[in-house]
Structure 1
Amino acid sequence: MKLLKGLWIGFWSGLILGVLLKWVQSVTGEQVYTLLLNVDFIPVIGDVQWSEVTEFIFHMSISLVIGIVFVFLAKRRKYTFGQLVILSLLMSIPFPFLYFLLADLAINADVPAVNDWSAFLYWVFGHLTYSLLLPILYKTFERKNAVSQ
């Protein structure tokens, strides 16, 4: 059950993050969605011209793992919603820093510059949304299961 719950939470959180950043990119022109999906710097994988759908699947795979880890940590004891939010935010500490790393490592992709502060803020906003979705979806899933039992 933990695994399925983690997959469910990771799926929806990752999907919403992807849609949100794609929308931000379409409205602002900031290439934050492109940055999210870019894998051109990864040896072997980066040499292939992947479709957007495949790159999105790569993104979703990472989100599924994060969802599973979040659920396994959350199930270790009975956390309040506030404690779940703190847990999620602690797990999310690397996300803002990934902006700089991914922007710097990009080879061919048209991604924001490392010092593009508006793109950075969109990135942080999107990932903060993602982080808050983890505990919200966790509690939603718990309530849904409690009703059905």
Structure 2
Amino acid sequence: MRILQGLVTGLISGTVLGLFLKLVETLTKLKVYTLLLNIDFIYIGYIPEILEFIIHLAVSVIIGIIFVFFTHSLKLIQMKQQVLLSCFLTLPTVFLYFPLTILAIKEKPDILDFTAILWWTLGHLLYALILPIPLRLFSKSTKK
């Protein structure tokens, strides 16, 4: 059950993050969504966007499973505790902006583009705030 909860939690949160950064990129032309999906430094060649998005979601599912595992193991019942944990787990992803920008071959934001860094950080904060919600919905549905 915990794996399923982590899977759903990661899929929902990762999808929200992806859609948010896609919207930001569309409106601002800052390549933050492109950077989120970027794996061109691992595999040079054409990779369809949908496959890149699936890889992004796979990483998000791993974070979701870890989040659910720690939430249950540490018995974090209060929303505030769960949000703190999700922020702790998400914080390293904010700093991925810098190595991803350095390694990326595709068009990307500048490494010190403060507007792009702000959007990237806000997107990952949104991810951290969304992460506990599906788990709470699971908890409510199993209590009925």
Query: Secondary structure of the equivalent of 2:39?
Result: coil
Which piece of structure 1 moves more, 8-17 or 137-146? Answer: 137-146
Which piece of structure 1 moves more, 134-143 or 114-123? Answer: 134-143
Q: Does 1:89 align with 2:78?
A: no
Q: Does 1:36 align with 2:33?
A: no
Measured after TM superposition, the shift of residue 135 of structure 1 is 1.3
Q: Which residue of structure 2 aligns with residue 22 of structure 1? A: 22
Query: One-letter code of the match for 2:116?
Result: A
Q: Does 1:124 align with 2:130?
A: no
Q: Does 1:72 align with 2:69?
A: yes
Work out the percentage of aligned pairs sharing the same amino acid: 44
Unaligned 5+ segments in structure 2 are none
Q: List structure 1 segments (4+ residues) > 2 angstroms apart after TM superposition.
A: none
Q: TM-score, normalised by structure 1?
A: 0.92
Measured after TM superposition, the shift of residue 146 of structure 1 is 1.6
Q: Give the paired residue count.
A: 143
Which piece of structure 1 moves more, 5-14 or 130-139? Answer: 130-139
Aligned counterparts of 1:97 and 1:77: Cα–Cα separation in 2: 26
**Alpha-carbon deviations, 1:29-88, whole Å to 9, x = none?**
11100000010111xxx1231000011011011001110111011110321211111111
Q: TM-score, normalised by structure 2?
A: 0.95
Unaligned 5+ segments in structure 1 are none
Q: Which residue of structure 2 aligns with residue 61 of structure 1? A: 58
